[in-house]
Amino acid sequence: MPGMLTEIDHVAIAVNDLEAAIAYYETAYGAVVEHRERVERDGIDEALLNVAESYIQLLCPYDPSSTVAKFLATRGEGMHHIGYRVKSCAEVLERVKAAGQRVIDETPRPGSRGTTVAFIHPKGGFGVLVELVEE
Ligand code: CO
């Protein structure tokens, strides 16, 4: 029986300069930007670059009070979270909560690209911030 995580949707990297990070992936790896979006709710600009059916998600805050800005200030650039694709964000979120795990989003919310997402707290998740992504 397959598990509830169907794919790795994206690996998210927090960066200080979005254009520089895009240029790096284009130059070094020939990566292609498929989507760009300002996600106002999160105070960030993002770029999604294709890796087969998954993405590298480059995150750059434009709002200095955003959580990604705080992350960059305290931890510097680097891996920010991993996004797992799921069939039902609500279903997996309920299961995670029932397992006693701490969540950031109590209910699913809109993500970029018209997806539905929910974040799971890194405490309890071995230090990794997890995002559930339903397309
Ligand atoms: Co993400």
State in Å: Cα 87 to ligand 1 middle.
16
State in Å: Cα 10 to ligand 1 middle.
7
The CATH number assigned to the domain holding 76 equals 3.10.180.10
* DSSP class per residue in 74-125: HH-SEEEEEEEEES-HHHHHHHHHHTT--BS-SS-EE-GGG-EEEEE-STTT
The tokens describing 66, both together, are 């955003």
Q: What residues does the ion ligand 1 have nearby, CB within 5 Å?
A: 12, 83, 131
What's the confidence (pLDDT) of residue 1? 63
pLDDT tens profile 94-129: 999 999 999 999 999 999 889 999 999 999 889 999
State in Å: Cα 101 to ligand 1 middle.
19
Phi, psi dihedrals of residue 108, rounded to the nearest 5° = -60, 150
Number of domains comprising the chain: 1
pLDDT tens profile 15-24: 999 999 999 9
Q: What is the pTM of this model?
A: 0.93
The tokens describing 118, both together, are 């929910």
| Full domain range(s) for residue 89 | 5-134
